């Protein structure tokens, strides 16, 4: 058996190397590019450009197939990441439950994998069949990386099955098995990065002659400006997506469970799925901000269209969905408190959290631009409400989002400590704890310090600001330094056994700076030194992240080896919470469909933005109603298929039921 493993590993590695070589080779020189241009006659519209079958709308076909394929792909790429992490946790904590869970995740994966591949094939065929000229152009540029992609797909399949089927055999050689899992993730990520370059090329083409579309540099076309932002964004989003789908799976199994044991297992699984998803959800707004900014840089028109133009209301829908996800995730935690003995001590906080979350959402959902009747317009003296308009602006939104993230984190802290009683004082714990806490603290301080320094040293002219505007950089820098001081003080407090006070203080300082000071200061900066607004956003992110990271470090130290009031009664949770998990899953699928639409819709009537125009009859930008219907259709198809596939994978399990 080990020999087999070794051979397959070798194959995978050689495939990887081969693909890297190919990728190098695919760096076509410009003559070759021209040659391709001739064989794929051009960018001028002619006949045979578009086809359709059965009189169906070709765009909707490609749209739905691509979206459902992407949803499956997100699941298949996201789940291995946390399957491996859960497996590692299992090894470290020597708790078998984690190992079973990782195994169960992987089982779902292997069921979903072939569907993903089949959908990918379908997508390729529909694209080539219905959009021959455009795909001719794309394959002219990217055919090199397309072969690599196909080869990597083999590697992905092999490493996935290897990882899954060697689970039992390699039980005693966990290190090897975990490396297989890591290999699976490496291959999967490489696959996604390649595919990403195609679609980001369509939005931000580089390395081609804008007039003729002829290829000049493959490297530039491949690593086009939006490639990295999309890579980052998708990598994180996939984990969130996988987590919520797993959570819903667990919820449905929970509701169908026959025994208390099963209920306990699926309750726990749902909890882990939700936990992973939220963890990945927290950095997602930041990644989105980065992507949005880059879209603005690529084309101000596209950027303006996105935030202020035809797509601005899609972002209100996005805000509603994200709102549902955050509120839902918190609600799930709150209802879950009832199964934790000792939680009565903390449930009193829930109502305040609820109020804070909803106030933040009220701010977050308030559109800058509202549907108005003309009487309202007249009374308000214009398009915007003189007072409420401020809630519609970026600074208010940023403050609200950061507050939401901090509150969600607070819910987690409550949940974690709900059943802890007697703590071991930090001063009596070993040295490692202190070292870890200090190291984390120093890391946070260094990060904050570096940014504070860069703000103070920032030359306003690089932001196209007059030199005297540098005075606006001071306050954020001071807040960063205050935060450094707060972290230091909190570390000391923790070491003298005042950890709870330290956490509260850290939280207080962060909320004050991020929400109340920078949130308001943002409006000043917006009118006085607009380009600097971005740096304010980065400041807020750093303050929040440092508070989350250091707050967690303190928490770990505080409750290490603490006694428990009682064990969590897994499985004793109101059924409402399980419906919440299902709702979370539906929301994230809708959200993904919506964002997929925005990303490709932004190109408007271009296949490749600014290079190849879409001259088909389907080139119009859909209305919101039309878009919602298609996205809803994708969601229904995806959830239907997933349910079916999971049901299939459950058939085999029925026979070996007792072990679950």
Partner 1 sequence: MPRRRMSLFWSVVVACASIYVFLAFVFPYAAMWIAGSENALPVPAALIAIFMALTIVGALIHVSTDDDRLREFLDPVVRLLRGWDRSEGYSTRAVARLAVLTAFPLLVGWVVYGAAAPDTRTPSLLRIQHPTMPGRYENLTNPFADVDEATRAQYIEEGTTLYQVNCRPCHGTKADGAGPMARGLRLKPADFQDAGTIGTVVESYAFWRIKEGGRGLPMAASPWDSAMPAWKDELSDEEIWKIVMAEYAIAGREPRKPESHE
Give the Cα separation of 151 and 118 in Å (integer): 16
Per-residue binding letters, 500-529, with partner 1 (x by CB under 8 A): --------------------------xx--
- Dihedral (Cα; 444, 450, 452, 455), 10-degree rounding: -150
- Contact window for partner 1 (CB under 8 A) among 12-20, 49-57, 269-277, 351-359: 351-359
230, 196 contact by CB (below 8 A)? yes
CB of 621 to partner 1, least distance (A): 9
Residue (of 209, 157, 247, 253) closest to 582 by Cα position: 247
**Residue 129 three-state SS:** helix
CB of 521 to partner 1, least distance (A): 14
What tokens appear for 610 in the block? 């600014």
89 is a contact residue toward partner 1 (CB under 8 A): no
* Rg (alpha carbons) of the chain, rounded to whole number: 26
- Contact window for partner 1 (CB under 8 A) among 262-270, 345-353, 429-437, 494-502: 345-353
CB of 367 to partner 1, least distance (A): 8
Q: 220 to 249, contacts with partner 1 by CB under 8 A?
A: 225
10 is a contact residue toward partner 1 (CB under 8 A): no
496 is a contact residue toward partner 1 (CB under 8 A): no
Give the Cα separation of 456 and 462 in Å (integer): 13
CB of 264 to partner 1, least distance (A): 19
Q: How many CB atoms lie within 10 A of CB 446?
A: 11
Q: 314 to 333, contacts with partner 1 by CB under 8 A?
A: 327, 331
CB of 528 to partner 1, least distance (A): 9
Number of residues binding to partner 1, judged by CB under 8 A: 62
Q: What is the DSSP letter of 568?
A: -
305 is a contact residue toward partner 1 (CB under 8 A): yes
Among 232, 317, 380, 598, binds partner 1 (CB under 8 A): 380
CB of 369 to partner 1, least distance (A): 6
Q: How far is CA 634 from the centre of its chain?
A: 19
Q: Is the dihedral of CA 239, 243, 245, 246 positive or negative?
A: positive
Residue 586's alpha-carbon distances to 24, 212, 316, 592, 644, in angstroms, are 41, 43, 18, 10, 16
464 is a contact residue toward partner 1 (CB under 8 A): yes
564, 425 contact by CB (below 8 A)? no
H or E stretch at 651:
helix 624-655
H or E stretch at 601:
helix 575-601
Residue 122's alpha-carbon distances to 63, 81, 559, 607, in angstroms, are 12, 26, 52, 20
334 is a contact residue toward partner 1 (CB under 8 A): yes
383 is a contact residue toward partner 1 (CB under 8 A): yes
CB of 206 to partner 1, least distance (A): 9
Among 13, 118, 378, 512, binds partner 1 (CB under 8 A): 378
Give the Cα separation of 639 and 112 in Å (integer): 12
- Contact window for partner 1 (CB under 8 A) among 186-194, 270-278, 387-395, 450-458: 387-395
Q: 590 to 609, contacts with partner 1 by CB under 8 A?
A: 604
Among 21, 56, 355, 457, binds partner 1 (CB under 8 A): 355
Among 351, 471, 561, 629, binds partner 1 (CB under 8 A): 351
301 is a contact residue toward partner 1 (CB under 8 A): yes
Angle between helices 575-601 and 58-93 (to 10 degrees): 130
Residue (of 183, 178, 145, 144) closest to 14 by Cα position: 183
Nearest residue (CB) to partner 1, 354 versus 660: 354
Name the residues that contact partner 1, by CB under 8 A: 225, 293, 296-301, 304-305, 308-310, 312-313, 327, 331, 334-335, 337-338, 347, 350-351, 354-355, 358, 361-362, 365-366, 368-389, 393, 464, 526-527, 530-531, 574, 576, 604
């Amino acid at each position: 058996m080990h020999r087999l493993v070794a051979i397959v590993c070798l194959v995978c590695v050689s495939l990887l190397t081969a693909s890297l070589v190919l990728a190098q080779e695919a760096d076509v020189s410009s003559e070759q590019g021209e040659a391709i241009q001739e064989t794929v006659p051009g960018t001028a519209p002619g006949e045979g450009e578009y086809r359709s079958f059965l009189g169906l709308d070709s765009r909707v076909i490609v749209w739905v197939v691509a979206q459902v394929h992407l949803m499956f792909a997100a699941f298949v790429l996201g789940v291995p990441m946390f399957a491996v992490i859960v497996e590692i946790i299992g090894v470290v904590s020597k708790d078998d439950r984690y190992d079973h869970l990782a195994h169960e995740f992987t089982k779902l994966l292997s069921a979903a994998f072939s569907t993903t591949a089949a959908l990918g094939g379908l997508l390729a065929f529909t694209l080539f069949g219905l959009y021959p000229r455009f795909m001719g152009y794309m394959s002219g540029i990217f055919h090199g990386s397309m072969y690599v992609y196909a080869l990597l797909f083999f590697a992905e399949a092999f490493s996935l099955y290897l990882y899954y089927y060697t689970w039992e055999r390699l039980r005693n050689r966990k290190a090897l098995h975990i490396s297989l899992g890591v290999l699976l993730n490496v291959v999967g990520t490489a696959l996604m990065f390649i595919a990403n370059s195609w679609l980001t090329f369509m939005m931000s083409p580089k390395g081609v002659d804008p007039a003729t579309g002829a290829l000049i540099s493959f490297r530039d076309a491949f690593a086009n400006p939006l490639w990295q932002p999309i890579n980052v964004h998708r990598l994180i989003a996939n984990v969130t997506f996988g987590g919520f789908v797993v959570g819903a799976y667990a919820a449905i199994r929970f509701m169908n469970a026959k025994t208390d044991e099963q209920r306990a297992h699926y309750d726990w699984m749902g909890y882990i799925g939700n936990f992973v998803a939220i963890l990945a959800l927290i950095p997602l707004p930041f990644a989105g901000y980065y992507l949005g900014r880059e879209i603005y840089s690529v084309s101000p028109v596209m950027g303006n269209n996105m935030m202020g133009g035809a797509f601005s209301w899609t972002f209100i829908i996005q805000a509603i969905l994200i709102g549902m996800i955050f509120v839902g995730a918190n609600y799930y935690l709150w209802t879950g408190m009832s199964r934790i003995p000792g939680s009565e001590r903390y449930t009193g906080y829930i109502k305040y959290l609820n109020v804070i979350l909803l106030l933040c959402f009220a701010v977050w959902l308030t559109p800058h631009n509202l549907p108005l009747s003309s009487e309202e317009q007249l009374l308000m003296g214009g398009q915007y409400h003189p007072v409420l308009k401020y809630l519609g602006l970026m600074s208010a939104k940023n403050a609200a989002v950061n507050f939401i993230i901090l509150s969600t984190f607070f819910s987690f802290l409550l949940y974690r400590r709900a059943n802890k009683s007697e703590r071991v004082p930090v001063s009596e714990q070993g040295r490692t704890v202190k070292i870890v806490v200090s190291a984390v603290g120093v890391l946070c301080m260094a990060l904050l310090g570096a940014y504070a320094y860069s703000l103070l040293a920032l030359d306003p002219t690089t932001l196209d600001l007059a030199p005297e505007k540098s005075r606006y950089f001071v306050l954020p820098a001071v807040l960063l330094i205050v935060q450094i001081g707060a972290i230091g003080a909190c570390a000391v407090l923790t070491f003298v056994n005042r950890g709870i006070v330290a956490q509260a203080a850290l939280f207080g300082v962060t909320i004050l700076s991020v929400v109340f000071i920078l949130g308001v200061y943002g409006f000043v900066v917006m009118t006085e030194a607009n380009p600097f607004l971005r740096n304010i956003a980065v400041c807020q992110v750093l303050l929040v992240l440092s508070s989350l990271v250091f707050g967690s470090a303190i928490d770990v130290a505080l409750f290490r080896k603490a006694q428990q009031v009682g064990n969590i009664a897994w499985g004793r949770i109101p059924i409402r919470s399980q419906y919440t998990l299902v709702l979370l899953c539906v929301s994230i699928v809708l959200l993904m469909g919506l964002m997929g639409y925005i990303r490709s819709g932004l190109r408007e009537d271009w296949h490749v933005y600014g290079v190849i125009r879409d001259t088909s009859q389907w080139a119009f930008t859909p209305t919101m109603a039309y878009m919602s219907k298609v996205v809803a259709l994708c969601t229904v198809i995806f959830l239907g298929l997933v349910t079916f596939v999971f049901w299939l994978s459950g058939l085999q399990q029925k026979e070996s039921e007792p072990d679950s």
